[in-house]
Amino acid sequence: MAKAPVIVTIDGPAASGKSSVSREIARKHGWKWVSTGAFYRGLAFVALKKQIELDDTQGLVDLCNSDEWSIELTPTKTEVVFQGVDVTDQINHEDVGSFASRISHHTNVRKALLAAQRNCAVGQIGLVAEGRDCGTVVFPEAPIKVYLTAKSENRALRRALEHGSDVQEIQTAQKIRDQQDSSRKTAPLQIPENALVIDTTELDLVGVVAAVDRHIQKIMTQL
């Protein structure tokens, strides 16, 4: 019988450090890496391109299963490919993120994407999955769970520097999305049970990765 993969989930709000930390952990251990949020951002990007309305739940569900777009895993990115073109860099715009947050409220949409997200672990030795509900919904049985957070102004500054945007505009958009993600009825953003919680406000990448890795090593000795 094939050995089950080691699954590490890293959840938290936008710009808390999930992507950078999870990528580095995956690289360090030689495991696969996936951003489950890319599924929602990818869907949002394609829906906007095809002018599918937010309340057209069936249209969004149908789009989840469309062969016009796909998710591809690489060592450093979760790529979104639309009509044969890599659009990964475009899905991180705030308008796409806002639409992604809103469509994630649809229970049927979440169900339609769930199997594809979970399939990322199939055949892997290990998988690091980052997002907003990885430890609570996508991989609730994962043995190693982490939740990253940071002060709102710190997160906005990180995202603004990354995309060359206005800090105040980013902070306003993030507050709205945080509220949307935390208050939705289906799979709200929350701290998974038994997760290690790290406030990354005063920590650099090296420090956060070290803390996460210590937690991984501790749990793995108990498996």
194: left (phi over 0), alpha (psi -120 to 50) or beta: left
Residue at 142 is within a domain = yes
The predicted-structure confidence for 117-127, as pLDDT tens digits, reads as follows: 999 999 999 99
Give the CATH number for residue 213.
3.40.50.300
For tokens 């672990």, the residue is 121
148 burial type by CB count under 10 A (0-12 exposed, 13-18 middle, 19+ buried) = buried
Domain containing residue 207: 6-220
Distance separating alpha carbons of residues 170 and 163, to the nearest angstrom: 10
The predicted-structure confidence for 159-185, as pLDDT tens digits, reads as follows: 777 777 788 888 888 888 888 888 877
Q: What pLDDT is stored for residue 2 in this prediction?
A: 57
Tokens found for residue 19: 């992507």
Q: What are phi and psi of 11, to 5 degrees?
A: -110, 170
Residue at 87 is within a domain = yes
Q: What pLDDT is stored for residue 176 in this prediction?
A: 83
Residue at 28 is within a domain = yes
Residue at 100 is within a domain = yes
**The total number of structural domains that make up the chain:** 1
